[in-house]
Structure 1
Amino acid sequence: MKILQRYFAQEIGRNVLFVLIAFLALFAFFDMVNELKSIGRGGYTLQQATFYVLLGLPGYAYELMPIAALIGSIWALSQFAARSEFTIMRASSMSTGMAGMILVKIGVVFALATFVLGEFVVPYTATAAERVRLEGMGRSVSQEFRSGLWTKDVIRTDGLTGEQIGSRFLNIRTVKPNGQMSGIKIYEFNNNFHLLSLITAAQAEYRGNNTWELLNGAEARFAENELQNVTTAAELTTAISTSKFDSRKMVSEVTPEILSVGFSDPERMSAIDLVSYTKYLSENKRDTVRYEIAFWKKIVYPFAAFVMMALALPFAYLHFRSGGVSLKIFTGIMIGVSFQMINSLFSHLGLLNTWPPFATAIIPSLLFMLTAIAALMWVERH
């Protein structure tokens, strides 16, 4: 059993690695061709474009790992069948259950690799890739919005942990990829949504521990009780006080990581970041469904490797006189593409129809697993 396990692992691992490298090379080529038209804009160089493409490869590896596991496994098992090795293994008392357990043990490696890529590699390489591109073109995140970037924050009595006493809305003209802000306007309201103050600042720099330093700014404070009884311009002037400052600290739940969501897809964020950002959105009474679906997909997706390898096992029982391996590989590619399309389709349908996020994430894998079980039962009977 250990010898078979090692033999299966070597053949499948080699084929999966080959398929994954081939896919990555293909996607890198298409991305590079797409980036050529942007070279020269705002100082964007060929070296930066190449670096951007290379930083995007871990994201493709994460998405393609289940498909590579499927095609690589089909390739290896089809070669076993073509050389009659699988027939000899079955004649030597290797049952379908034993073959399945061998593939499950190999699938653990691919599932772990998928999890590591999605949780620890892709979130950082995806963010770094967008920074390289934006900095190369001399652009900022908020330039994508006509009025700048808007975000909401909560004001508490004791920084981040006290009772909520109000809300603030931040309008940021420019957000650099490193999180530095410029052209800031901050509107602070009490719990009754009466405007308390308007703060403007030329720049803001993050100092850690949820603390921003506002630089070269001014503040206009509005006395709520006095404004309600204003009848003349003189009284209005008295009710509004203004001041200037060179530097001021601001404790906020908004961090550079939250701002970076502006140029990161939820699918490329880590599960920890998704939990943190979902909590931030929930506290600010904003819709969280998209990020909840992305979170559950992040949890479920590594297990797709097991589903794909289960789909590959029936191919070992199919025999063709000619063109067998190529036909099986083509079928595997079609199955893999179908899985990605259905997985993406369910994400959009779940978002539009407000389906439970966990169900939206797991249903595609369950459908394909049921298909694999049905295929195994069919080949066992025939």
Structure 2
Amino acid sequence: MKTLEKYVLSEIFKSVLFVLVAFLALFAFFDLLGELSAVGRGGYGFSDALIFVMLGLPGYAYELMPISALIGTIYTLSQFASRSEFTIMRVSGLSTVQAGVMLIKIGVIFVLITLAFGEFISPKASDMAEKWKLRTQGGSLTQEFRSGLWAKDVIKAEDGSGKVQGSRFLNVREVKTDGTLNGVRIYEFDTDFRLKALLTATSGTYLGGHAWNLKEVVQTQFAPDAFRQPDNTSIGRTAGITMHHLDQYRLASEITPDILSVVFADPDRMSAKDLAAYTRHLEENRQATNRYEIAFWKKVIYPFAIFVMLALALPFAYLHFRSGAVSLKIFVGIMIGVSFQLINNLFSHLGLINTWPPLITAALPSTLFLLLAIGALSWVERH
């Protein structure tokens, strides 16, 4: 049995790798065509566009792995069926359950590869691709935002680690690719949502440990009654307003460069770890988290969809049509894979619109296709 497993594993692995490389080459070609219009802006040349496209391939590898596993496995099993190899395996005592267990063992390898791409390789490569393009074009992360970047944070006592004392709204005109902030404006409110301070700074750099160093700071502080109007006039009081000019100012904040970069990142290209951290940040600031929760559970569940795809491929081994069988089966496999991707993305949008539970939204497409696989296996067993 071990010899048979090694043989099947080798054939499936070669087929899946071939399909994945073919898909990546196709997507890289179309992406490169799309980047040609940007060549010539600033210092962005053809070689830079090529590097940008190559850095985007790990993300495609993560997304295409289940489809590649489905098509590659269908091709291999169809070849076994057309050459009567699978029939010989069954006559030798290979049951449907044993064949399924064999595919599960093979699927574990693909799941681990997919997890590695989704959690480590793809997020880093996507971040490097965006920074590479912006750096060569001479742009910044916030260049397309008219009012700059906005983020919300909580103010805590004891240098950012104690009791919550209020909330803070951060507005940044420009975020450079190295994490430097330019044109910083911070609005601080107390627990009753009264403005208590306004800080403006020309730039800010991250010190680590949830601390920022702001330079050329103008700090305007407001007393609790600074904007309270006297009974006999409509002009607000200004006696409670003080202003300080500081060369540097240390700001303790839960906001980090990683959190700021999330604003510009596609949630589907982020790691589950980053999605979980950003979701906690949004929850602490009482902001909507549905989009990122759905993306988190999709990131957790998606690699295991490979098992579903392999289960869908197994029934094709029992079909013994010889004339044009392999081409037809591959075509059906492509249609199933495309349908899975479409339904997976559709349910993400439906779940976000209808506020479905994120876990159910992420798991439902795989569950539906798993039921389809079980039904197909039952049918081929009966016939």
TM-score, length basis structure 2: 0.97
Could you tell me how far apart the structure 1 residues matched to 2:236 and 2:56 are?
Answer: 59
1:256-296 Cα offsets, whole Å, 9 max, x none, are: 00010122111111111111100100111100000000110
Could you tell me how far apart the structure 1 residues matched to 2:260 and 2:297 are?
Answer: 22
Change (3 A) 1:235 1:286: closer
Over 4 Å off, 4+ runs? 229-235
Instruction: Determine the structure 2 residue equivalent to 1:28.
Output: 28
Instruction: Determine the structure 2 residue equivalent to 1:18.
Output: 18
Could you tell me how far apart the structure 1 residues matched to 2:215 and 2:54 are?
Answer: 37
Q: CA deviation at 1:235?
A: 8.7
1:145-184 to structure 2, matched below 5 A, reads 145-184=145-184
SS in 2 for 1:196: strand
Q: CA deviation at 1:120?
A: 1.1
1:236-315 to structure 2, matched below 5 A, reads 236-315=237-316
Could you tell me how far apart the structure 1 residues matched to 2:236 and 2:171 are?
Answer: 29
1:91-170 to structure 2, matched below 5 A, reads 91-170=91-170
SS in 1 for 2:73: helix
1:30-49 to structure 2, matched below 5 A, reads 30-49=30-49
The answer (yes or no) to whether the contact 2:229–2:235 under 8 Å persists in 1 is no
Specify the code of the residue in structure 1 equivalent to 2:284. Answer: E
Instruction: Determine the structure 2 residue equivalent to 1:67.
Output: 67
Could you tell me how far apart the structure 1 residues matched to 2:29 and 2:50 are?
Answer: 10
1:233-259 Cα offsets, whole Å, 9 max, x none, are: 999443211111111100101100001
SS in 2 for 1:264: coil
The answer (yes or no) to whether the contact 2:227–2:238 under 8 Å persists in 1 is no
1:168-227 Cα offsets, whole Å, 9 max, x none, are: 111110011222110011011101111111100000001111110000121111111354
Q: CA deviation at 1:361?
A: 0.4
SS in 1 for 2:158: coil
SS in 2 for 1:179: coil
Could you tell me how far apart the structure 2 residues matched to 1:289 and 1:340 are?
Answer: 20
Instruction: Determine the structure 1 residue equivalent to 2:358.
Output: 357
1:73-113 Cα offsets, whole Å, 9 max, x none, are: 00100000010000111111111111111000000000111
Deviates more, 1:131-140 or 1:167-176: 131-140
Specify the code of the residue in structure 2 equivalent to 1:119. Answer: E
Instruction: Determine the structure 1 residue equivalent to 2:214.
Output: 214
Q: CA deviation at 1:46?
A: 1.5
Could you tell me how far apart the structure 2 residues matched to 1:179 and 1:281 are?
Answer: 20
Instruction: Determine the structure 1 residue equivalent to 2:348.
Output: 347
The answer (yes or no) to whether the contact 2:228–2:237 under 8 Å persists in 1 is no
Could you tell me how far apart the structure 2 residues matched to 1:251 and 1:138 are?
Answer: 30
TM-score, length basis structure 1: 0.97
Q: CA deviation at 1:138?
A: 1.8
Q: CA deviation at 1:161?
A: 2.5
The answer (yes or no) to whether the contact 1:127–1:263 under 8 Å persists in 2 is no
The answer (yes or no) to whether the contact 1:130–1:263 under 8 Å persists in 2 is no
Deviates more, 1:174-183 or 1:306-315: 174-183
1:194-205 to structure 2, matched below 5 A, reads 194-205=194-205
The answer (yes or no) to whether the contact 2:228–2:236 under 8 Å persists in 1 is no
Could you tell me how far apart the structure 1 residues matched to 2:313 and 2:211 are?
Answer: 52
The answer (yes or no) to whether the contact 1:266–1:294 under 8 Å persists in 2 is yes
Specify the code of the residue in structure 2 equivalent to 1:218. Answer: V
Could you tell me how far apart the structure 1 residues matched to 2:43 and 2:91 are?
Answer: 66
Specify the code of the residue in structure 1 equivalent to 2:191. Answer: N
Could you tell me how far apart the structure 2 residues matched to 1:341 and 1:373 are?
Answer: 21
SS in 2 for 1:208: coil
Q: CA deviation at 1:229?
A: 5.6
Could you tell me how far apart the structure 1 residues matched to 2:103 and 2:209 are?
Answer: 46
SS in 2 for 1:341: helix
Could you tell me how far apart the structure 1 residues matched to 2:35 and 2:269 are?
Answer: 20
| Number of corresponding residues | 382
Change (3 A) 1:88 1:212: same
Could you tell me how far apart the structure 2 residues matched to 1:227 and 1:3 are?
Answer: 82
Could you tell me how far apart the structure 1 residues matched to 2:179 and 2:190 are?
Answer: 27
Specify the code of the residue in structure 2 equivalent to 1:25. Answer: A
Is there any run of 5+ residues in structure 2 with no aligned partner, and where? none
Instruction: Determine the structure 1 residue equivalent to 2:224.
Output: 224
Could you tell me how far apart the structure 2 residues matched to 1:178 and 1:337 are?
Answer: 38
Instruction: Determine the structure 2 residue equivalent to 1:333.
Output: 334
The answer (yes or no) to whether the contact 1:119–1:271 under 8 Å persists in 2 is yes
Query: Which structure features the higher share of helix residues?
Result: 1
Could you tell me how far apart the structure 2 residues matched to 1:233 and 1:245 are?
Answer: 33
Could you tell me how far apart the structure 2 residues matched to 1:185 and 1:372 are?
Answer: 56
SS in 1 for 2:356: coil
Q: Percent identity?
A: 59
Specify the code of the residue in structure 1 equivalent to 2:375. Answer: A
Specify the code of the residue in structure 2 equivalent to 1:324. Answer: A
Could you tell me how far apart the structure 1 residues matched to 2:37 and 2:229 are?
Answer: 61
SS in 2 for 1:214: strand
The answer (yes or no) to whether the contact 1:177–1:260 under 8 Å persists in 2 is no
Q: CA deviation at 1:321?
A: 2.8
SS in 2 for 1:41: coil
The answer (yes or no) to whether the contact 2:308–2:370 under 8 Å persists in 1 is yes
Deviates more, 1:137-146 or 1:242-251: 137-146
